[in-house]
Every structure is written in structure tokens, then in C-alpha cells.
Amino acid sequence: MTGTIDLLPSQMRLYNKICETFFAICKLYGYEEVATPILEDIRVFDRNLGLETDVVSKEMFFLEKKQDETLVLRPENTAGVMRLCQEGGLFQKLPQRLAYYGPMFRYERPQKGRYRQFHQFGVECIGVASYMADVENIQMAVHFMQEIGLAELTELEIHTLGSESERDAYKQALHDYLLPYKNELSENSVRRFDKNILRVLDSKNVHDQKILETAPVMRNFLQMESAKYFDNILESLENFGISYTVNPFLVRGLDYYNQTVFEIKTPALGAQSAVLGGGRYDGLAQQFGEKTPTPSIGWAAGMERLFLLAQEHQTLSVPPRKNIVIIAMTEAFDQEAQKYASLLRKEGIACLTVHEGTLRKRMKIASRLEAKYTIIFAPKEMENKTAILRDMMRSEERILPLADLIITVKKHYDT
Ligand code: HAM
């Protein structure tokens, strides 16, 4: 199906390695995993992500329409996590540091790195107002990139959207600046001009970009408090040796953000440059019944984009499978082979038996199975209650008494 991908076993191993790395990082930063359903009521998302955002206005998958209930496949999970906090009573136990991983769905035009079913790793730090939460959250994102070998291939971009009133003032100024150019703007930007003016800043059109060169910038609309907040973050990032670019044109595709926004981008994936995106969303909890703003910040990273980068640039090594393969050369030894396979598995050693074909063919299969050792039950050796143990890496063979087989394999399995 367009916009979806399969993963072969070898790819799945790399994929799982990225997953393991993510959850190891979460553990280091004290984030606990949560899970929300893939199916949600549309009300979790529509207003909360912004009715005029692409995600809500054209990319949501609708599943079932009943009189007063519309179900959708979740396009993201920050809103879902807010619902979970409200229904699970977590807003009463702040702060919360929550993490998730799972499939998301957006009806986008598929291309490399952009799919209709994709997976996100996400973290949400809920209930901490200090700028240090922003710093730590970003530090965690950068740490994740380092651990999966993508630090050199990616760059952090950061910006601030200020408070709501500062943003409104900026939107007005941007509107006034762009109005005389409205006829010259691309079709897409004209649509955005009318519906969601900040999104014009994200235009990929060269002429639009030229016009934007002299447009007012958000920074000049920040009051003392927001400016200080942003400067503190930048200063701390520098202190922690995290390099960044302030991008005044950084606008996120979802409307719930205020103050800090950031993305981790790569030039190595063509048009789909963002591998991770996030920011502060202090007002979102109120949409889920909280009386006052709940300072929150988080990010999500796209697994498929990370995977493509890690695969193409071989940034992560996946350890070999370390199987033991038992080959019974005649049917008469099949039972014996299964018996020894079971004994090895009881010792926690991965073991497979190969039943068909010539010895040559079976040895080929054993190599493909990444056997560390192959045990061959051959007639002559079996007569003497022995078997051949072949070290596949060293291409060395020795004959061992059956009685010593398990203990010997066990001894050398982890070396
Ligand atoms: P987002 O920027 O919409 O943010 O998505 C985060 C990441 O998901 C993107 O940077 C990208 O890597 C990946 N992604 C998005 N759409 C696709 C797609 N169609 N195909 C493949 N990958 C995709 C959010 O979703 C926010 N909930 C992030 C967040 C968490 N903000 C605060 N907390």
C-alpha cells in the first residue's frame, strides 16, 4: 500500500536497536513509558492541534462516523497523552515525565521519509515551568541522536513563539507586512496568509522566501520575560556544548505551541528534513479540563526517518545473532538433535536445527543464520558418542564427547 513500509528481518534488527536506544535514554532521564490507543475520538485532536493545520484539515484518517462520535487514527500523540493524564489523574501528580512509541497516521503525499503510517518516539515533560525543562528536553533529544550515530548528520534548530499576546502582535505585524505582497505570494502561501499566517514563514517557494527576507521577526515582539526565558535556554545549550541555529522561520505544523520550538533536521533525506520536532505547549492541558495552564514541553521523532538515515549511513552496528545450529546428518539423529537443541535453549542459548539438503547446503544455511557454532551429528562420530563442533568464525572443527557438548558450548557462547 502506498505510504507504508515493510521491514525485513535484517532491517527489523536495526529498527529494534533504535527502539532499545530510545528507551535506554528515557530511563536515564527518568521518563516512564505510557501507551494510548491508536483510535481516538476526533475531539482529542481537532481544536487542540488547530483546525487550520494541515494535519487536522486534510491529513486525518477517519474511521467510523456515528451520530455524535467520529473516530480517527491518531496523527500524533501529545494530545493523546494529555487525555491520558486527565483521565488517569496524572495532572494531580505533577511533574510527569512520560514517553511513548507507536504508529501514527497522516494522509500525506507519500515520498521518501514521508509515509501515511509512520512511527513516533515521543517524550512529554508535564508540569515544569523552568527553562531548565526545555534545556534538558532538548539535551535528551540530542543525546538520542548521538547514541544512534546521527549527531554528525543532523542539526538542531530552535526558535521561540513567545506568549499568546506577543504572538498575536507578531502575527498582526506579519500580516501588515505581507498584505502588499499578497498577489505575488504562491498559492499555498495565500491560503496560509488567510488561515494561519505564521505558516507562510515555512514556504519553500523561492519568491516567497525573497519577500520574507525583510519581514518582521518574532524576536522583536518578545517582552522581557519571554526574551529572558529564550536567552537562558540558548545560554545553557552553549554551556552544555550543544550547538544550535536560531531559525526565525521555524514554525511547527501544530498550533498548540508557545515559547520554545525546536527541530532536529538533516540535509541527508531530501525534502523530509525534520527527524524530530517539539516545543512547549503550556496551554494544552486546559483543553483537557485543567483549570490553569500546565507548563509542558516535549518532542517526537520519526522512526522511519531515523531508520533510513541509520541504514544508509551505517551509523549503528547491530550485533550478530549468535545462533547455535545443529545438523543431524541422517534422520536417525533427528530426535537427538532436537534433544540437544532443547537442552541448549534451557541454558538460554539460541539454537536451531537444520534438516534438509546436503551438508554443504546445510552449512550455507547455518552461515545465513549467523551461527556462532554448528554442531554436526554425523554417523561415524555418533557411533563413538561424539559430535563435530565447528567454530564458524574461525572455521575450526573439533570432535567432542556428547556428554561435554552443552557445557563446552555454554562456556564459549559469550566469548
Ligand atoms: P511533528 O513535527 O508533527 O510533531 O512530528 C514529529 C516527527 O514525526 C517529525 O519530525 C518527523 O520525523 C515525523 N513525521 C511526521 N510526519 C511524518 C510522516 N508522514 N512520515 C514519516 N515521519 C513523519 C509532533 O507530532 C508533536 N506531537 C511532537 C511533540 C511532542 N511536541 C511536543 N511534544
> 296 and 96 in contact (C-beta within 8 Å)?
no
The overall average pLDDT reported for the chain is 95
Residue with CA closest to ligand 1 atom 11: 302
pLDDT over 90 at 65, yes or no: no
305 touches ligand 1 (CB under 6 Å): yes
Write the DSSP symbol of residue 180: G
Confidence at residue 235, expressed as pLDDT on a 0 to 100 scale:
98
Q: The whole model's pTM is what? A: 0.94
Contact between 263 and 157 under an 8 Å Cβ cutoff? The reply is yes
- Pick left, alpha or beta for residue 155 (phi over 0 → left; psi -120 to 50 → alpha; otherwise beta): beta
pLDDT computed for residue 68 by the predictor: 78
User: In the prediction, which pLDDT does 230 show?
Assistant: 98
Is there an atom of ligand 1 within 6 Å of 274 CB? Answer: yes
218, 251 contact by CB (below 8 A): no
Q: How confident is the model at residue 84 (pLDDT cuts 50, 70, 90)?
A: very high
Residue 52 pLDDT class (50, 70, 90 cuts): confident
Distance 110 CA to ligand 1 centre (A): 15
pLDDT bin (cut points 50, 70, 90) of residue 14 is: very high
Ligand 1 pocket, mutate which of 2, 40, 81, 118 (most atoms under 8 A from CB): 118
b vs e for 181-209, b when ≥16 Cβ sit within 10 Å of the residue's Cβ?
beeebbeebbebbeebbbbbbbbeeeebe
Stretch 31-41: mean pLDDT: 97
Band the pLDDT of 69: cuts 50, 70, 90. confident
Q: Each residue of 215-259: pLDDT tens digit?
A: 999 999 999 999 999 999 999 999 999 999 999 999 899 999 999
78: closest CA among 106, 56, 98, 92? 98
Specify the pairing of strand 323-328 against strand 371-377. parallel
How far, in Å, from the CA of 301 to the mean position of ligand 1? Answer: 6
Confidence of residue 355 (pLDDT cuts 50, 70, 90): confident
Say yes or no to pLDDT of 64 above 80: no
Kindly tell me if the per-residue pLDDT of 123 is higher than 80.
Answer: yes
Residue 171 has pLDDT above 90, yes or no: yes
Tens digits of residue pLDDT in 259-289: 999 999 999 998 889 999 999 999 999 999 9
What pLDDT was estimated at residue 238? 98
What pLDDT score does 76 carry? 98
Q: What is the residue with the minimal CA distance to atom 15 of ligand 1? A: 302
Amino acid at 17: K
**pLDDT tens, position by position, 324-351:** 999 999 999 999 999 999 999 999 999 9
- Report the percentage of the chain scoring pLDDT > 90: 91
CA 17–ligand 1 middle distance (angstroms): 20
Q: Which atom of ligand 1 lies nearest, measured to the CA of 79? A: 27
pLDDT tens digits along 316-327: 999 888 899 999
Which residue's CA lies nearest to atom 14 of ligand 1? 302
Distance spanning both ends of the chain, measured CA to CA = 44
57 vs 142, higher pLDDT: 142
Residue 342 neighbours by CB distance under 10 Å: 10
Query: What would you report as the CA-atom Rg of the chain, rounded to the nearest whole angstrom?
Result: 28
299 lines ligand 1 (CB under 6 A): yes
**Is the CB of residue 275 below 6 angstroms from any atom belonging to ligand 1?**
yes
Which atom, in ligand 1's list, is nearest to the CA of 120? 8
Choose the residue to mutate in 97, 254, 256, 259 for probing ligand 1, maximizing ligand atoms within 8 Å of C-beta: 254
Instruction: Phi first, then psi: give them for residue 22, nearest 5 degrees.
Output: -60, -50
- Average pLDDT for 192-221: 94
Q: From CA 300, how far away is CA 101, in angstroms rounded?
A: 9
State if residue 298 touches ligand 1 by the CB under 6 angstroms criterion: yes
Residue 1: predicted pLDDT? 79
The owner of cell 534488527 is 13
For residue 302, is pLDDT > 80?
A: yes
DSSP state, 121? E
pLDDT computed for residue 218 by the predictor: 96
- Assess whether pLDDT exceeds 90 at residue 207: yes
Phi-psi region of 180 (alpha: psi -120 to 50; beta: other; left: phi over 0): alpha
Is the four-CA dihedral 98, 272, 156, 25 of positive or negative sign?
Answer: positive
User: Cβ(124) to ligand 1 under 6 A?
Assistant: yes
- The set of cell numbers assigned to 259 is 515559547
Closest CA to 175 of 163, 192, 160: 192
At residue 161, the pLDDT reads 97
d(CA 189, CA 193): 6
> How many angstroms separate the alpha carbon of residue 254 from the centre of ligand 1?
10
